[in-house]
Every structure is written in structure tokens, then in C-alpha cells.
Amino acid sequence: MTGRDIISEKIHSRHDPKWSWRLWAPEGNGSLLCVACAFEIIGDKDVSSVRKSFALSSLSGVLTSSPGTLRRLLQQDHRVSAHFTVTLLRMLQTTEDPVTLEKVDQVLVQLLLELQSETIFRFVLDEINKKLTDQLNLKHFLATFNFLGNLVKAVPHVAPSLVTHVTLLDCLCSALLYPDEALKTSIVYVWLQLTSTPGSSLVQSLPLAIRDRVCNLLLLTLAHANSLQLIRNCVGLLLQLVQLAEAVSVLMNSPVSQIMCDESEEILRNNSQSLSQNQEQQPSDHCPLPLILKKLLLSGDETLQVTSVKCIASVLVHSPSQYSNPFIKADVPEFLFDRLACSSNDVLLWSLYSCLLLLTEDPLFFSQCHSVYGIESLVRSLKEALQLTNLEVPKQGFLLLTKILERQPPSVRLFPSRQGFSAVSEAIGAGVLSSCLLVAMQSTSAAAALFRLNHQSVPVQCKEIEGLIEAITSRFPELTLPPHAHLHSSRRTKWLDPSGQATKSEGYVLQALACFQAACRLAEECASEPVLRENTFTSPYKQSTTQDSLESLCQCLFRCCDSIWIPTFTRTHEYVPSIQILEHFYTILSSQFTLCPSLMPAFANKLASSGFYRQCMEHKGRLCAGNRNPNLNAACCDFLQKLSVCLLSQSDYPSGSHQHDVKEVENLLKHALPSLCCPVSNWRSLLYECQGPRATQYCVVIILHLALQHGDRLLPDMMVFCSVLWLLHSVQEQGNCALPHSVLRSALYLLAVAQDSSPSVSGVPLNCIYKALSSCQSFSSLYFHHTQLLHFICRYPELAEKFGPQVLELWLMKKATDAGKCMAEIQEKGENQQSTADEKREHEPDTETTELLTLIEKYPAVILTLLDIVCTKEASLAQRALAVFKQLLHSQRDFKTDLCENLRPALLQALQRFNMENMGHGQEQAAQVNSLPLVLKLLCVMQASDPPSSSHYSNMEGEHFKLLYHVTNIAGRLKPTNTESLLPAINYLYCYLSLCPVDCTDRAVSMLLSSSGLMGQLQTVFSSSAPSLSSSACPPLALLCCCHLLLSSLITLQRIHSAQVNKCITWSLDEAVQCILVRKRKTDNLLLVSSLRMLQVLLDADLESAVVILTTGPGLVGCRLLGVQDGALYPLGFRGAKCLSTALAELFLQKHELLLRASVNCLSSLLGFLQRKSPATAKEVVCQPGSRFLLQCLLSSGESCLLYPAILQLITLLLQAGGTAVLWEADLLQVMEMVESKGVKDLSKEAAQALRQLLTLVQSKHFLNTEEHKQRVENMMGALEPQTEAESRSLSSALHLGDVSVCLSDFTLKTD
């Protein structure tokens, strides 16, 4: 052979040039190939093995580098190729050099691959078969079998020819009995390559006898194999065979004795014919394959372990129920679990999971406790699997865990201890948080199976369950849920691609819902099993403080449902989710009503107001009509029933019928909801069906009511109103007026709330409503606290006449109940804060009162009904009605109707009735005591709110004078101890005199002064208020104040009209002054105000009046004979004047505005009295050192106090009476500076008027000497003029201080 050319120089010259070929090379001159030279060298026995090896290598290189060249040369004569093939086949048996032998195998395979001829393939197989037939010793056929295997592997087209070569196949089977393991390895290699050839029909094309022999011989070989390569080949072949069901049947039914004994080929051949007949008779316990594979599992070779596990899985997949039993009895699951615990190979783990998954289908797997044995190994392997990059492995592992948890018999616990349950919970939690959503989905499914009662330890590990629930819900924000149904169909199809993220997300939601439902079911079961909730070996103290409790679990479930599940579901409810998702979701919602009953009222309100009634009913109508999806229908019905019952349970219905009504609704919904499977839009037609199912119609009415009550209008208001009205009519047409109690209430609610969007009814429709409401024995049982009910009943006179009083009473009773808690809170804060709160509530009415005021404005006839309540009902109810009247009258300017004109006739009738009854019995009746005070209070409030009119008061036949007459008589006849009625009566008389125009009071004051009973009552009150009497014997302070105020008005008006006095009243001037001087700190401000008013009126009258006989004492005039000064001032005296002025000076430092006004007016009257009786005394009183101290205190009190109208008026009085001796120029300048700093425009009208009076006095008396100061006064006066004309302040004619109404006109600052 030359260096580059593939020729032999010695023999090349005698070869025909047609067997030569110049090979192409990139550099231009290719080498020369002579096929004849190469073949002759290879076939010559005398040529050394080195030269043959070189020639073989050269041919191999040509076949590799120049494909097609050798084929073109050999196609010139097929005999040459056949001869060369035979030569190479012979060399496979005769060559001993392993290198050369390898080259022969390589070239032969390359040559046949180059030729690609069916003929040559068949020729090679025939040659091999002939040699095998002729030789008894197969020792030299090792290379031949290796070549045959390599040929089948390299040239797949050889396999079909080999499958049909039965003789050769039979020889290959027989060769497996040869004791040489290397030979067996090569033969098994041939069978492995043959069965591994692409094309599923090749193994099935094998003759049945051959295939059965191969299976049996394979088991025999594998059972006795020692070399690793043989075992690998056998296991590889076994993996290929078990893909075929028929082969598996042979392998699993092969008898142990036949495999374990080394029999001859003839025996095997004979037995193979009868094997199929005996297969059904062989017991499965004697199958050797599980034992063989179990032995392979114990090997340290992971490849063998993987393949053996795949073999087991391939066998089981054909028929788990048929083939799993032998494997389980051979304890294969135990070995599989052991492999799980010590392997991190992803392929092996996946195979083990798959194999065990198939074994779990056999109940024997669990009865022999393989699941209990392997659960710990499985959990540990899952933690390892989650660290792998191949996420299919943990997915398969969690699938296995799921099946074990689902199929485990309840009688055998997997987790008897807390540690085991905690470990599996931790593994599942890690799986839920996996980056792969499919792994998380399968882990969630495992969690659902774990939440079965039989898997729980005692006590139940609620904390672990909470952790899993929170982990599952924590993934919701990252989900990509499918789009809404209104998207284009092609776009939605793209979203719903099975491999898309949206589909995976929807699958996860489904699994999570199933898991959450399982957790809710577990919590319900634990609640009914006390032994599961506590550990009997744990102390009660630790049990009460632990967070691992069922209550904590229930709250966790509710929290997740409320904050995660419902928002997620609501976000996607516009599209139609899967039926399973809906079923799980509504079941979960139903469970919450059982798990957390204390949280359900607020939860139910939230669901109803969020549109869950509409949503659930639409799902029922769309998916459950026509008896479809009964499970979903049942879940929806259960949810709607529990939601409705919860909403009804918290309604403010009367307690007497409440429980009965709730039970009635529960039964009605239970029987009627399953059949209500139409869309909400069809409910109108359902209600209009005269012969329709009544129970279903009633169910619709109740649901419409509950949904509307929480703001969810399922149908338009007008449609609801007409539909309900028609239903009432159709029921009555059938002769049945009495609807179920709860249905009638719901119908009334719908009619009332929907009335604004509907026209008024009359005639037959109104008669239907009247009959329906009248059919109920007690209207109070139909009442619901809603303003629309008031308007609905009062809107129609027919209904208002019969049901109006009851509705108003129930409304006021509810108002009183709500006010009770508020009053209790106020009483805890003290008397002062209580009076402040009362004052605030009077000016700011509550919601119920505001609604009644609106009702009265719209329907004035309600006033008479309320008045009837005041006069005839119990005190608590009448008191609430009276409070409404107070607010009504205080805000009279907001109404068009003259409320006072509407009230006076009714009040007059009430008073006439009282007078008649009193005259008939001689005294007031006990039953009237509760109502008379309220009528008098209402009259008093009305009098204080009614604007004065001369025409009304001057007419003696008018209602005003008649009311005054009856009140005067009643006041005179009342017992002195009946202060509850006497107080509003005296207060009314006072308000009448003070608010009535002066020119119209002559007849009124004459009538009062002529009433001996009234004057006696006043005398009794004054006599009972002596300081020497006990506090229990004294009249209430409010009554004493009213008597002072009434008496002061009588004294004033008697002077004006010179009215005749039949009975005088004795009043102690000494006690009044001592009260103001000594006991003022312990005296109520209102009593001080009324006493000062009384003193002011008496001083204006120079302490002389036909109405009053004043008594004095040593405290005023001393104990000695009266001097000139005391005589002039009698009965006040000089000492009394100084004491009174001192007491007034102390009162000026108070911050009570009304008390300041009364004090200033009293001082003004006192100074006037002194000026008239003793000017020197007046000067002395004003100029005493206390006056200067008082001014200094006022000047240093700041702007807020100094600029009070009363304080400005006080400064004017002191300056006018005392001059600069009391008020210095610097003091006046300080007052002016404060006025300038505040701004004249910001002063109130009274303050501006008082300031003007002060400045006028300063100008007239020239108290300021400098021109600058005079100019400042002129500028200030100029600024006051336009201000006083532009600003107007309208004060109420009366001020309500508790139960006393004080006329502000009596406390207007005196300007003269």
C-alpha cells in the first residue's frame, strides 16, 4: 500500500482499471483507490494483520469521506460485493486481533449502509444463519452477534428482514442458553437493537413463539446474569418488551421453576407451545419478574435503577389491577420508597413517583401499610425534588402524595403524631410557593386531600392548616385570569389555550377553591368533634392561650375568603367560569355562615350590597335551567338560603314574630329556590303568571326585598311595584287574601321603597293593598324601620286612617330605643355636660326626627296623629312625640303650613277635655297625669315659637285667649305637688304675657290676677322655697324660676294697665338679696337670673306693687329704728342697697351671658331707684372701692370679655353714675383700643349699640380732653352708623333652658 493511494504496487498492475477511482481532495490531487487491491489484501491469509488493519482503515475512511464512491465501483459486479461481504463475515469468526476485528465490524457495517440493498441484507442474514446452523460451538460467534447488533442499530432497514428470518431468530434464542455471559451479552444486544428499532410494529411482527421464547429466556438470563453489561442489556431489552401488552402477559405469568432451572433449549421450545395455555392457570404469586426488578433496585447503578423502575411502571400501566398485586407482595413499594429517600436524580425520582402512583391503585398497597412506611421518605424526597430544575419531577411527586392521601383508608392514620403532619404541611407549602404554577396547582390538590379528617392528628394542627391556606391565597395576585366574556371570541380562544398562562391560572383557582372548601369542611367537622379541638394532656391554661385553635382557623378562613377569594371572584365574574369553580365558590361562602356566626351579620350585608344576589341568581338561571348541574344548583340554593336567613335575623322586626318569620322564610327558600332557575330579567313574567307556582313567586318577592334592602336593584322600581301589586291582586282573585307573613312584609317593603318611581294607585289596586295589610292580625309584625314606609302609608288617606297611627307609634318606639343608649352615655358625663348635650340635640334633630319633619311637611295630617299620641299614649311614647313637635315648631320657618294654627284647635280640645274631667271628679285623674304635662309642654313650646300678632291676642273669643283661660284654670286646680304639670303651665302663662303685645295684655293680666287658684299656687311655691325648709320639701328650681318670671310680668303689666288685684303675694326681699349675696355659688344660674329679674321689676316700681307684699329683715334695714336714709330706701335700706350692689359686682365676673344681662339690668334699676330715693346713696354705692376693683378685673380680662354688650353697658352705667371717680381716662382709652383692634364692623348689633351709648356719654360729658382722643371717638362713632344699619341679628323670641322657656325680651339691655 502506498502512502496516500489505496493500492498494492505488487498486485495492482494485474487489476482491471475499472476497479480504480481517483478520490477528490480539496488540494487538487486526490488519492487513488483500487477496490481489487484492498479486497485482495484483506482476504489474503498470508497478509499480516497490520496491513489488513490499514486496508480496513483506508476503506473505512473512503466510506466516510467519499460516500457513494465504493457503491459505484461495486455496482459493476455484484459478485464482488458478495464475495467481499463473505470475506468480512468470515474474518469476524477467524480474526483474533481485537483491533482488526473492530475494523472488520466497522467496515462491514459501513459497507452495508453504503449499499442499502435489500438483497445484500438478506444475503448477510442468510450467511450468518448458515454459519450458526453449521456450528455447534458458538464461542467464535461473539463478534458476529456484536456486528449483527451494530448492523441493526446503524441500518434500521435490516430489522424488518431480520424479523421475518425465523430460522435466524430461532438460532438467536437458542444461543441465549450458551453459558458464556459475553456471548449472551452480544445476543441480548441484538435483541435490544431489534426491539429498539423505530416503528411500533416490529416487536408485534415477531412470531408469537419467538416472542414468548425471548421473554422466557430473557427472564432466565437476567435471573442468572452477573456481568454489569449483560444486566444492562437485559434490562434494556426488558424495557422494550414491557411496552407490549402481550409480552407483559408472558413475562408476568412465567413460572418460577421454569425460569430458575437451567433447562435445555428443546424443553423451552416444547414448553413455549403450551405456555400460553398454562398462563391463566399460573398463580400470580410465583411471578419472578418483581423479584428480579426488586434485586435491580438494590444495585448501586442509578441507570439500572431508573430502567428497572421504568419497567415496573410499564408493566403496571397495562393493567394496574392485574399486575400490581405481585409487585406489592414482593415488597417492591418498600424498596421504591427507600430509593426515594436516597436519590436526587430527577429521572429516577420521576420514575419512582410514576411507578408508585400506579401501585396506589391497588387497595393491597394500603392494606399492607406501604403508604405508612413510605410517607416520610416521600415527604423528604419532595423537598429535594423542589430544588431540581426539572419541575415535572415535583409535580409528579405531589400527584403521588395526593393519590396516597385520597386513597388512604380512614382506619389507618398516616400522621399519628404532630411532627409527621407538620412535615407534610411544610412540604406542601413549599410546593404551593413553587415558581411553576403547575407544581403549585398539584400541591394545592395535595393540600385538599390532606385536609381530610382521617389525616389529622389529635389535636388538629390548626396553625399548620392556616399556613397552607395563607400560602395558597398568597399566589392570587400573580394569576393571569381569563378575560371577560365580551371579548372577541378569537382573542378569548387564544387566552384559553390549554398551555397558556390564563388556563393554568384558572386551573390553579379551581384547585385552590377545592382545597379551601376542604379546609372549611374540616373546620365544620372539627367543630362537631370536641376531642379533635383539644389535647387532653395539655393544661387548660395553655389551651386557652394557644393560638393554634379552631377559632383561629375559622377566622383565618373567613379573612382569606373576605379579602382574597371574593375580590378575585368578583373581578372575573363577568365571564362564565367553570361550573366546578362556581360550585366550590358558593359552597365556601355557605360554610362561612357556620364557621364564624358572630361575623356573619356584617359579612352578609357586604355580600348583599355587593350584588351577590344578582350574581348567584344569574348563574342559576344560566347554568342550572332544565335540571342541569344539580350540584351547582344545590350550592347556590344553600348559599342564598343562609344569606337570606342571616339578613332576616338581624332585621329590626318585632321580636314576637321574628323567629317564626325567619323559620318561615328558611322553609320557603329551601323548597322553592331549587326550581327558581330563570334569569332575573324573566322574573317579571314569573310574577305575572296567575296560575304560576306560588312558592316560587313568594321566593322571588323575598329575594327582591332583601337585595333591594341592601342597595341591589334586581329589577327597575316601577317594574317591581307593578309586579308585586299584580301578585297581590292575583292571590286575592283566587280567594286567598292572606299571604305568608314574611312574604307580605317583603311585598310591603317593595311597594314602599319603589313608590317614588311609580304612579299613585287608587281604586282596585289600592283596595288590594288595603285587604292584604288588613289580613294581618297585627300590623306591628309587618313594620320595618324605613322612612319610605311612613310616606307610603301616609300617601293614601285610606291607609293612613287605619295604619298611620300604628306606623308612627312604631317609628317613635324605635327612636326611643335608639335614644336610650345615648342618654345613658350622657348621664355618665355629669349634669353640665348633659344640659349642653340636650341643648345641642334640641337644635340638631336626629335622623328619625328629621324624617318625621319631612313627612309632616308633605302630609300635614300627620300632626293630628302625633298630637293624639301626645295626649293619649304612654309617657315614653308621648315624650318622643313631644320632642318631634319641639323640633317642628323651632324650625317653623322652613314650612309653608301654619303649624301653630293647625295645632291650636287640637290642643284646645285636649285642654277642654282635661277641664271637664277635672270638674266632674273634683281633681285630676291619675291616668291624666302622664299626658297633661306633655300637652302643656307642647303648648308652651308652641307659644314660645308662635310669632306675636295683635289680632290673635286681642280677640277674647279667639283660640289664644281660650287656651290662656283653660291653662289658668288647670294651673289653679293642680296640686302643689304636681310640679310635672304645674311647671309647663306656669311657663306657658309667663310666655303668653311676655310675648303678647303690650296693648293686648290688659284682659290677660286681669284674668290671671283674678284667679285665686293661680295666685295661691304662686304663693305656695314661694313659701315652700324658704331656706329653712328641707330640700325635699322645696319645689323644683325650674318651677321657682318660672314663678319668679311670671310674677315679674304680672307686676309690670299690672302697673301698665292698673289692673285690679284680688289676692296679693308675699315675697321676701331679704331672702332674695341674701340668696344673691351669700348663696350664689350654690344656686343655679337660672334661679339667679329669675331672682334678678324679679328685683329689677320691683326696683323699677320703687319696691311698691299691688301684686306683691314685700317683706324685709335685719339683713337689709338693720335692727334699730330706721334713719332717714333707710326710711327713704325702705324696704331695701342702705345696707340692703350696698349688699345688693356688692352681690351684683361679683356676678359681673361670671361668663354666663344671660346672668350678665340680668345683673346689668338689675344694677341699672338699682341705681335708678337710688337716684330717685337717695342720690347720695347712689353716688356712694357707685364710688365704693369695689367698683374700681371690678373695673380693673374687667379691663384685664381681655377683649373677649370686655366687649360683651352687658359689660359695655355696665361701664356706661358706672361712668354715668360715678364719672371719672370710678372710670379713669386711661380706662376709656383701653376700651377704645380693644374696640379698634377687633374692628367696629365685627361687633354684634347689641355690642355696637352699647358702645354707641358709651361713646355718646363720653362726648356729652367731655371725659376725654385731648383733640386726638376726641377725634378717635368721632371716627369710631362714624364707623358705627352704617354698621348698625347694615347688620341685623335675629334672636329667637324665647330661649329654651331645659324645661323653662325664657323670653329674651325681658333681658334686653336697658338703654335709658
- With a cut of 50, say whether residue 924 has pLDDT above it: no
How does residue 898 score in pLDDT terms, banded at 50, 70 and 90? low
| C-beta atoms surrounding 292 within 10 Å | 23
Strands 1065-1068 and 1108-1111: parallel
Give the mean model confidence (pLDDT) for residues 133-144: 75
- With a cut of 60, say whether residue 534 has pLDDT above it: no
Half-sphere exposure of 1218 (CA within 13 A, CB side): 24
Cα dist. 1103→87, 1108, 1140, 1213 in Å?
A: 163, 9, 14, 21
For the record, the C-alpha cell of 1163 comes out as 344694677
- With a cut of 90, say whether residue 393 has pLDDT above it: yes
Instruction: Kindly report the backbone phi and psi dihedral angles of residue 1068, in degrees, each rounded to the nearest multiple of 5, phi listed first.
Output: -90, 110
| pLDDT per position as a tens digit, 26-74 | 554 556 667 767 677 776 676 776 777 777 777 777 777 667 667 676 7
pLDDT of residue 270: 41
- With a cut of 70, say whether residue 749 has pLDDT above it: yes
In the chain the first and final C-alpha atoms are separated, in Å, by: 155
DSSP 3-state helix, strand, coil percentages of the chain (rounded to 5)? 75, 0, 25
The mean predicted confidence, pLDDT, of the chain is: 80
pLDDT of residue 262: 41
pLDDT of residue 657: 60
pLDDT of residue 816: 59
Give the mean model confidence (pLDDT) for residues 455-478: 88
- With a cut of 60, say whether residue 954 has pLDDT above it: no
Give the mean model confidence (pLDDT) for residues 160-188: 87
Mapping DSSP onto H, E and C, the string for 347-386 reads: HHHHHHHHHHHHHCCCHHHHHCCHHHHHHHHHHHHHHHHC
Give the mean model confidence (pLDDT) for residues 1211-1224: 72
279/478 Cα distance (integer angstroms)? 56
- With a cut of 50, say whether residue 540 has pLDDT above it: no
- With a cut of 80, say whether residue 453 has pLDDT above it: yes
Instruction: Kindly report the backbone phi and psi dihedral angles of residue 1067, in degrees, each rounded to the nearest multiple of 5, phi listed first.
Output: -135, 135
pLDDT of residue 631: 94
Residue 6 carries which DSSP code?
A: B
- With a cut of 70, say whether residue 1033 has pLDDT above it: no
pLDDT of residue 486: 40
How does residue 942 score in pLDDT terms, banded at 50, 70 and 90? confident
| pLDDT per position as a tens digit, 645-657 | 999 888 765 555 6
Which has more pLDDT, 1277 or 18?
Answer: 1277
- With a cut of 70, say whether residue 263 has pLDDT above it: no
Query: Helix or strand or coil: residue 1303?
Result: strand
Long-range contacts of 266-275 (CB under 8 A, 24+ apart): 268/173, 268/177, 268/213, 268/216, 268/217, 269/213, 271/216, 272/209, 272/212, 272/213, 272/216, 273/209, 275/212, 275/216, 275/250
pLDDT of residue 1018: 92
pLDDT of residue 1290: 42
How does residue 480 score in pLDDT terms, banded at 50, 70 and 90? confident
246/235 Cα distance (integer angstroms)? 18
Give the mean model confidence (pLDDT) for residues 125-144: 79
How does residue 815 score in pLDDT terms, banded at 50, 70 and 90? low
Which H or E run includes 451?
none
| pLDDT per position as a tens digit, 197-211 | 876 567 788 888 888
How does residue 489 score in pLDDT terms, banded at 50, 70 and 90? very low
- With a cut of 90, say whether residue 1042 has pLDDT above it: yes
- With a cut of 70, say whether residue 545 has pLDDT above it: no
| pLDDT per position as a tens digit, 1060-1069 | 998 999 999 8
Which H or E run includes 1108?
strand 1108-1111
| pLDDT per position as a tens digit, 1077-1117 | 887 777 888 999 999 999 999 999 999 999 999 988 887 77
Radius of gyration of the chain (CA): 57
Query: Helix or strand or coil: residue 295?
Result: helix
How does residue 951 score in pLDDT terms, banded at 50, 70 and 90? low
pLDDT of residue 135: 67
| pLDDT per position as a tens digit, 1094-1104 | 999 999 999 99
How does residue 669 score in pLDDT terms, banded at 50, 70 and 90? very high
Least confident piece of the model among 487-491, 985-989, 1250-1254: 487-491
- With a cut of 50, say whether residue 537 has pLDDT above it: no
Highest mean pLDDT among 267-271, 558-562, 814-818, 1285-1289: 558-562
pLDDT of residue 674: 93
pLDDT of residue 894: 44
pTM: 0.70
How does residue 162 score in pLDDT terms, banded at 50, 70 and 90? confident
pLDDT of residue 495: 41
Give the mean model confidence (pLDDT) for residues 579-602: 91
pLDDT of residue 636: 94
How does residue 720 score in pLDDT terms, banded at 50, 70 and 90? very high
Specify burial of residue 567 (Cβ count, 10 A radius: 0-12, 13-18, 19+). exposed
Residues in Cβ contact with 697 at an 8 Å cutoff, skipping those fewer than 6 apart: 686, 687, 689, 727
Least confident piece of the model among 302-316, 392-406, 699-713, 864-878: 864-878
